[in-house]
Structure 1
Amino acid sequence: MKKILYAIIPILAFSIIFLNMFFGHLVFESETQEVINKYSVYVHLLSEWQSESKNIIFDVTNTWYKSDKIRNTNHVFDAESKEYNSNQLHEINGKSYVELKHEFSDCQEEWQPMLYRKAVDTVRHEIEYVQGQQLSTDPSVSVYPDTENENYDNSEQQSKIKNGFVQFFPICTSKDTTSYNFSVKTDNKDLGFDVYFVSSSDQRENFVNSKFDYYTESGCYGQNKQSYSGTCHDIKKDSGLLVIFPDDLKPWTTKVTVNLYENN
């Protein structure tokens, strides 16, 4: 009997893992109106950039609430969204870079994270909490400490980022105005980032041409940080988070974690 169990248990475990990997987001779909989207953005800076390191990885979690959850029994992936997940050549500050988005669905709920990824994120969350890098005990919410960049002061930071790299992360919402909690951190200890909640993706270009405008209320922005968390209220549906780094990245790859949580 024991020999039979020893044979069955591994098969059963493998079957569960297999289901989670490929069908977990369909079989175990949440009944609530909360939608969780996880995606990554890979950036490769081209030769015009002065940074020694040319690679940035953004890992993004966006949690939001949908007013009328539309169910698609077949869960057919929208082919049009594939255009967001191919290599695209962009330019900022007169300098070119290649961007690749992975699992970005432009607020389509069909791409909810699979259960195995949730399990990995939960374990990582607990480790960070023990190490003091995470302030939240809830594994579904990341709150990072307010950590200043101590390599140089904020006045130097504001000078550096004028010629830096700017990335926009859109929010998802079914409302005209909403409020969002957010947290950002980087593993690059040599410099700081600026983060701003802005009214639209247009502010990405406006940052370069000195017409930049952002939500100035407390908690809506942070300057010269290595990790930061905030809450921004009364933001419009086209709003998003702008993260800016100086063109002074050191080897090797700079990793940035971005979390966005809509308040219900």
Structure 2
Amino acid sequence: MNKILYAIIPVLAFSIIFVNAFFGHLIFASETQEVVNKYSVYVHLLSEWESDSKNIIFDVTNTWHKSDKISNVNHVFDAESKEYNENQLHELNGKSYVELKHEFSNCQEEWQPMLYRKAVDTVRHEIEYVQGQQLSADPTVSVYPDIQNKNYENSEQQSEIKNGYVQFFPICTSRDTTSYDYSVKTDNKDLGFDVYFVSSSIQREQFVDSEFDYYTESGCYAQNKQSYSGTCNNIKKDSGLLVIFPDNLKPWTTKVTVNLYENN
């Protein structure tokens, strides 16, 4: 009997993982008005960059509310019909980088987190909450403490980021004007990031060209942080979040966690 169980349990475990990996986005799609979209963006900086570290990983959670007008329409992501995980060569500040980004990061489809990922995220959330790294007791919402980068002054940060790396994350909304809670943290202890809510992805290029514009209301931006949470109100539907690092990354890989939550 034990021998049979030893054979069945691994097969069962593998089957569950397999089903989650390939069909979890269909099985566990939300029937509510709330859509949870999780994805990652991998960035590899090429030789022109000054950073010792050439790798940045952005783990993103984007939560928004469906429109009542389209709530019955199936927007579930069809993995079989998409070509995603393609390397794309880009240039920023005259320096090249390779970006690996999923197509379902564009807010057009619903990509629910798989069941096993929900479990892992919940456990991680509880551990961080006990350790004080997480301020929210709700495992579906991340709120990080406000931690200033103390390695150098903000004036140095503002000088350094002018030639740094800038990443744009679109919000997902069906409304013309909305409000978003957000939180950002990094595991890089050597430097800080700036974060700004901006009107559109165009501001990413304008930041590089020194013609940068952003939402200036309290809670819509922060400078020289290692961890931050805020709320930005009255933002337009094409808006998004810019996260900016100086070109001085030293660890092998810098990991950045970004959470975006549309308010009711």
The alignment's TM-score, normalised by the length of structure 2, stands at 0.91
For 2:262, the equivalent position in structure 1 comes to 262
Measure the CA separation in 1 of the matches of 2:189 and 2:151.
Answer: 8
The offset of 1:213, in angstroms, is 0.4
Task: Tell me the amino acid that sits aligned with residue 246 of structure 1.
Answer: P
For 1:87, the equivalent position in structure 2 comes to 87
For 2:247, the equivalent position in structure 1 comes to 247
The offset of 1:78, in angstroms, is 7.4
* CA shift in 2, pair 1:154/1:73, >3 Å: closer
Matched pairs, number: 262
For 2:49, the equivalent position in structure 1 comes to 49
Measure the CA separation in 2 of the matches of 1:153 and 1:223.
Answer: 10
Q: For residue 104 of structure 2, give the secondary structure of its aligned residue in structure 1.
A: coil
* CA shift in 2, pair 1:76/1:48, >3 Å: closer
For 2:19, the equivalent position in structure 1 comes to 19
The two structures, once aligned, show a CA RMSD in angstroms of 2.3
Contact 2:146 2:228 in 1 (8 A): yes
The offset of 1:89, in angstroms, is 1.1
Contact 1:196 1:243 in 2 (8 A): yes
Measure the CA separation in 1 of the matches of 2:77 and 2:58.
Answer: 27
Measure the CA separation in 2 of the matches of 1:160 and 1:260.
Answer: 26
Deviates more, 1:197-206 or 1:68-77: 68-77
* CA shift in 2, pair 1:32/1:209, >3 Å: same
The offset of 1:7, in angstroms, is 7.4
Deviates more, 1:236-245 or 1:85-94: 85-94
List gaps (5 residues or longer) in structure 2: none
Measure the CA separation in 2 of the matches of 1:5 and 1:52.
Answer: 50
Contact 1:77 1:110 in 2 (8 A): no
For 1:168, the equivalent position in structure 2 comes to 168
Deviates more, 1:8-17 or 1:18-27: 8-17
Contact 1:21 1:116 in 2 (8 A): no
* CA shift in 2, pair 1:240/1:74, >3 Å: closer
Counterparts of 1:72-151 in structure 2, within 5 Å, are 72=74, 76-77=78-79, 79=81, 82=83, 85-102=85-102, 104-151=104-151
Measure the CA separation in 2 of the matches of 1:126 and 1:224.
Answer: 27
Q: 1:69 aligned to 71, 76, 79, which one? A: 71
Task: Tell me the amino acid that sits aligned with residue 121 of structure 1.
Answer: D
* CA shift in 2, pair 1:16/1:100, >3 Å: closer
Measure the CA separation in 2 of the matches of 1:149 and 1:224.
Answer: 6
For 2:39, the equivalent position in structure 1 comes to 39
The alignment's TM-score, normalised by the length of structure 1, stands at 0.91
The offset of 1:27, in angstroms, is 2.1
Q: For residue 180 of structure 1, give the secondary structure of its aligned residue in structure 2.
A: strand
For 1:211, the equivalent position in structure 2 comes to 211
Q: 4+ runs of 1 displaced by more than 6 Å?
A: 1-10
Measure the CA separation in 1 of the matches of 2:6 and 2:48.
Answer: 59
The offset of 1:31, in angstroms, is 1.2
Q: For residue 87 of structure 1, give the secondary structure of its aligned residue in structure 2.
A: strand
**Per-residue displacement from partner, 1:23-71 (whole Å, max 9, x unpaired)?**
2332232210111111111111111111111110100110011112244
The offset of 1:256, in angstroms, is 0.4
* CA shift in 2, pair 1:98/1:58, >3 Å: same
Contact 1:161 1:244 in 2 (8 A): yes
Q: For residue 188 of structure 2, give the secondary structure of its aligned residue in structure 1.
A: coil
Contact 2:30 2:112 in 1 (8 A): no
Contact 1:21 1:114 in 2 (8 A): yes
The offset of 1:131, in angstroms, is 1.2
State percent identity of aligned pairs.
83
Contact 1:35 1:112 in 2 (8 A): yes
Task: Tell me the amino acid that sits aligned with residue 200 of structure 2.
Answer: S
* CA shift in 2, pair 1:178/1:7, >3 Å: same
The offset of 1:10, in angstroms, is 6.5
Contact 2:194 2:224 in 1 (8 A): yes
Contact 1:85 1:104 in 2 (8 A): no
The offset of 1:135, in angstroms, is 0.5
